[in-house]
Structure 1
Amino acid sequence: MVVIDSDAQLPDLAVVLVGRTLWRYRSELAPFYLVAMLALGGAVLHITHPEWWAWLLGAATVTAWALAVFGDRVGLAVRRERLYAAGVTVSTGGWLSAVTALGIGFQPLPPVLVAGGFMLAVPWWVHRRRRAKVRVDRQIAAWPEIAQSVGLAGSRPQSAVVDVWGWRARFALARGQTIHDVVGKVPAIESALGTFRGAVRVLPTRDDKANRFELRVLDTDPHADAIPWPGPSVSSIAEPIDLGPFEDATGARVLLLRRHGLIGGVAGSGKSGGINVLMGNLSACRDVVIWAIDLKRGMELRPWATCIDRLATTPQQARVLLRDAVAVLEARAEHLAARGQRTWEPAPEFPALVIVIDEYAELADDAPDTAAETDSIARRGRAVAVTLIAATQRPTQKAMGKGAVRSQMDVRVSFRVRERKDVDLILGQGMLSAGWHAHTLNAPGKFLLSSPEHDTPRRGRAYLLTDEAVSTTAEHHASVRPVLDAVSQRALDARRSSPEPEPTEADAAEPEPHAGTTGDGPEAALRKALDGAPDEGLPIAHLLMITKMSRPTLYRRLNDLVTTGHAVQVGRGRYRAPRPDSDHTV
């Protein structure tokens, strides 16, 4: 049996505890450490090299000047931080040079060191980022306990840095753990760290190692306030467009050339603002022709009408526009094949064609026969620089799951969605479980961006364009918009010479028939139901059941029919066709 002498171990234990305490609170005790090092260093230099005092004073002066002027390059982002660092440097350098020349006992150098050290320590102790660094160090020190409680036992911190918005740390995972395991533990990590909900981000490290991850913790939300649009970030479709800043202030830049895009989000999520940012940048590109479809009678895109080459606001106009787009891509493909080329390189004389569709779900409802054209553009448009950008508030399976369109979208931008399942509908299957939580976005304009350049869930916030900014931008770029190239224009001329009529101005005012007006389509069903309605009219619920239209579409069609005299409203939510002997309306 071995007897341990506890009395003999107490001194060693005390030394260990004191050493750990001094190391743990090294940030708070840094001013005292500096004072002790100055006193020791000054005494040694006075004995060994007293003639160095002039060199020390000069070096301190130059270093202080460099910190004041170029301190931002070494992490001193705020001006007062640079001035504080310069003041500490010149003060300590001056005192050290004096001690080197005169000796540590020369009066009043010792009391000056104590008083000056205390005065310079006060800003250090009260500084917010320094206090944050102390708090972060304590949380990092407690990580083994946190990891054990959240189910990541064995993971260990490697480094930690405090920044403007919070802090970030790099961690090594235990054998068999992956970043996907960490993503699933985010709520538990937030609870263990005592942060607010949504404050923790889990990202891969820059070296993309499977057994590493970066933890980012926000103290304040950098996207709490709207961010004004600084102006176009590109002049060519070949350049990546800046949609808005990420939380680390880097731009959410995405390339649209030879890619199709999908923008989704519920009403009020900021989707329209994101479209405005896109339109503002596209309008500045002199190698892009913009076509657009807005079935809300142009409510969203009409402010950009001076920069849009063609704007379709009715189902019939949308059909013609998409068929023209297919004709353009086929003509371009034939042109490239005849010259042995593989891709259409955008230039002002040979511009790319970008088709922006607002409320894609409405197009699927009102003009379902356009599915073949959108599929064709999605599948074959890349090489010939015909790009499709679809936006929708209703990411339903019917609207987004049919055909090749959704699967061909390389760029996905998701603003806030209402249900968790909508995350996968917009961003792609499995994205919700991978940490793309678009349903938790808590302010208009916040988005998640998925593209070949952005494969991790980083939150951004779209720039805000005011109505005045939209008007000014559209007016500024209207005079420099390019026209379609000769190859594409000849294809359109050939199509217009076909028997299919081009929509007229009357078509824009007159309610456009759906496919099957003379057959079994929803428009024909609506007309037939109204013609056969009793004097008290048919209720909306009945008309929805008969026509199979969506509620917004039905109300819009009824409003068009009432405006043109083809229907009357005889009560709240009740409609019928007009009678020869009565035109009663409510």
Structure 2
Amino acid sequence: MRNRQMKRHARRMRRNGLQPMVFIDSNGQLPDLAATVIARALWRYRSELGPIALALVLNIAAVTLHLWHPEWWIGIFILAIITSSALPLVGARIGLSLRVERLYAATITAGAGGWLAAATAIGATHRPLPQIILVGTPILAVPWWAHRRRRARVRIERTLDAWPDISQSVGLAGSRVMSTVVDMWGWRARFGLARGQTIQDATAKIPELESALGTFRGAVRVYPTRDDKANRFELRVLNIDPHANAITWPGPSISTITEPIDLGPFEDAAPAHVLFLRRHALMGGATGSGKSGIINVVMGNLSACRDVVIWAIDLKRGMELRPWAACIDRLATTAEEARALLRDAVVILEGRAEYLASTGRRVWEPTPDMPALVIIIDEYAELTDEAPEAAVSTDSIARRGRAVAVQLIAATQRPTQKAMGKGAVRSQMDVRISFRVRERKDVDLILGQGMLSAGWHAQTLNAPGKFLVSAPEHTTPRRARAYLLTDEAVTQTAAQNAQKRPTLDEVSRHALDAHRASEERSAPSIDEAVADASESGESPEAGLWAMLVAAPEEGVPVPLLIKASGKSRRWVYYQLGGHASAGRAVQVSRGRWRATSHADDVP
């Protein structure tokens, strides 16, 4: 019992910055512990005693310089003037981020330098120099003693003095503190891990760390260090949530799609820059988590670019995207309009690919005359429900659209494989943005397999607009908050940029015109085949076959085959499989079929 009490008392002393130390002299006598206690107290309160220590150093320096080099006073005076003048300008580079901090440092430098120069010339004991330093030291020390960051750093240092006990209690025994930095929102520290421990071990201990450090829930973050060493991690602790309130959008951050868009600030105030050129993007999250807000941020930036044409699909009858209609070249609000828009996007994709091949180029470089084409789809799951055949077009765009600058930006609540059309769309998304989700498994659905276990905890995001972004330039789980665009800001931005919007390039227009002319030539035969099949009273098999025979080279869509036969999708696909096995029909592309050239009669 006695040993346990002593150990508990020793741990309490270590937390308070006092280490139990006992010295025995050569005669076996216990020495006076007063010196040890005083030394420990001086070390514990070294930050508070900093101004007094500076005054003592100045006195010692003044006495030494006056005795040996009194002529140096002029150099000391000039150096003090130069340094104090430079600090307000360059102080931010040495960690003085606030203007008041730089002014305070300049004042201390000028005062200390001036006093040292005078004391070097005439002596530290010459009146009124002793009185000046005695009165000036406590006066100039008041801002230092009251400084929030200094007091926070002292509190953190004393907390981390007990890290050996904390690490033992949370299961990271053997880890050690390497460095600590205090910022305006909290503090961060680098830790070295014991052998066999990894950052995944630290990530799994976040709840225990919050308890041991006495923070509020959700205040602790664990990141890899910049050197990316496996046996180190960075611990970030927030005293104040920098994203507690909405952040007003400052305006467009780009003028060309070749630049990264600023979606909002991270918790350290660094901007969340994401490049969208030649990348497809997926945004997911629960209802009310902020997806519409970030779409407004993307629209606000893209609408300011002269080298991008915006197409959009909003099957909620344009409720979300119609305010941007003045900047949108083509807006689809129904399933039929969405199907037509995506089919035309595929035509543009193929036309651009043909143009690049003919000119010996590999990528489409956006310019005002040859803009990129960005297709924004709000609530992608609604599209796949109301227009399942549109998945064929989005799949083709996802696989082949990057090089020709035809890109998708899709938003959905829960991007399951079923919701994404069972195609390659989700796997082709280079940029993943996750807002708050209700279930842990949804993190992997949005951000990719294994991201939850790697520390991407989107289920802990606690306010609309907070998000995690995974992109080639963002590989660590850093929280950000999207800017907020009010309805007035959306209306004003759309009106400002409406007159600057580019139109489709000549290559894309030519591809669309050629495709529409081909459709007009083949449309009468298809329409007649549908009408004949519906009015003739023939069997469904005969109606299906009539459609296949009348189909143009690019084939006929499955929905028309369903209409002509009057049967279910499953039945149509069963019949198509039989025709294909017999060599009578061929699938031209996903969802489009026609009869083979040598099969003209009903089987």
| Same fold (TM > 0.5) | yes
Structure 1 distance, partners of 2:128, 2:402, is 78
Report if the CA contact (8 A) 1:400-1:425 is conserved. Answer: no
Please state whether the residue corresponding to 2:257 is helix, strand or coil: coil
Report if the CA contact (8 A) 1:291-1:353 is conserved. Answer: yes
Report if the CA contact (8 A) 2:312-2:375 is conserved. Answer: yes
**Correspondence 1:49 to 2:30:** no
User: Where does residue 151 of structure 2 map in the other structure?
Assistant: 131
Structure 2 distance, partners of 1:405, 1:345, is 23
User: Where does residue 177 of structure 2 map in the other structure?
Assistant: 157
Structure 1 distance, partners of 2:203, 2:118, is 56
User: Where does residue 433 of structure 1 map in the other structure?
Assistant: 453
| Unaligned 5+ runs, structure 1 | 503-513, 523-586
**Alpha-carbon deviation of 1:384?**
1.1
**Alpha-carbon deviation of 1:521?**
6.6
**Correspondence 1:231 to 2:245:** no
Structure 1 distance, partners of 2:472, 2:32, is 57
Change (3 A) 1:452 1:90: same
Tell me the number of residue pairs that the alignment of Structure 1 and Structure 2 aligns: 510
**Correspondence 1:349 to 2:349:** no
- Note the alpha carbon deviations across 1:535-564, whole angstroms, 9 max, x for none: xxxxxxxxxxxxxxxxxxxxxxxxxxxxxx
User: Where does residue 530 of structure 1 map in the other structure?
Assistant: none
**Alpha-carbon deviation of 1:59?**
2.1
User: Where does residue 534 of structure 2 map in the other structure?
Assistant: none
Please state whether the residue corresponding to 1:378 is helix, strand or coil: helix
What is the 5 A alignment of 1:132-531?
A: 132-400=152-420, 402-497=422-517, 498-499=519-520, 519=566
User: Where does residue 536 of structure 1 map in the other structure?
Assistant: none
The equivalent position to 1:83 in structure 2, one of 84, 98, 103, is 103
**Alpha-carbon deviation of 1:74?**
2.2
User: 2:420 corresponds to which letter in structure 1?
Assistant: M
Structure 1 distance, partners of 2:504, 2:480, is 34
Structure 1 distance, partners of 2:293, 2:144, is 43
**Alpha-carbon deviation of 1:269?**
1.1
Please state whether the residue corresponding to 1:296 is helix, strand or coil: coil
Report if the CA contact (8 A) 2:182-2:188 is conserved. Answer: yes
User: Where does residue 532 of structure 1 map in the other structure?
Assistant: none
Percent of residue pairs identical: 69
Please state whether the residue corresponding to 1:321 is helix, strand or coil: helix
Report if the CA contact (8 A) 2:414-2:445 is conserved. Answer: no
TM-score by length of 2: 0.80
Report if the CA contact (8 A) 2:84-2:109 is conserved. Answer: yes
The equivalent position to 2:125 in structure 1, one of 101, 105, 114, is 105
Report if the CA contact (8 A) 2:391-2:421 is conserved. Answer: no
Structure 2 distance, partners of 1:9, 1:476, is 86
User: 2:217 corresponds to which letter in structure 1?
Assistant: R
Structure 2 distance, partners of 1:40, 1:367, is 84
Alignment root-mean-square deviation, CA: 2.3
Change (3 A) 1:520 1:31: farther
Change (3 A) 1:144 1:293: same
**Alpha-carbon deviation of 1:348?**
1.4
- Note the alpha carbon deviations across 1:188-241, whole angstroms, 9 max, x for none: 111111111111111111111111211111111111121111111111111111
**Alpha-carbon deviation of 1:11?**
4.3
Structure 1 distance, partners of 2:143, 2:498, is 54
User: 2:288 corresponds to which letter in structure 1?
Assistant: G
Structure 1 distance, partners of 2:310, 2:567, is 35
Structure 2 distance, partners of 1:17, 1:360, is 68
**Alpha-carbon deviation of 1:24?**
3.4
**Alpha-carbon deviation of 1:368?**
1.0
Structure 1 distance, partners of 2:322, 2:387, is 20
Report if the CA contact (8 A) 2:384-2:421 is conserved. Answer: no
The equivalent position to 1:117 in structure 2, one of 137, 147, 168, is 137
Q: Greater shift after overlay, 315-324 or 18-27?
A: 18-27
User: Where does residue 65 of structure 1 map in the other structure?
Assistant: 85
Change (3 A) 1:501 1:40: farther
Report if the CA contact (8 A) 2:25-2:31 is conserved. Answer: no
User: Where does residue 554 of structure 1 map in the other structure?
Assistant: none
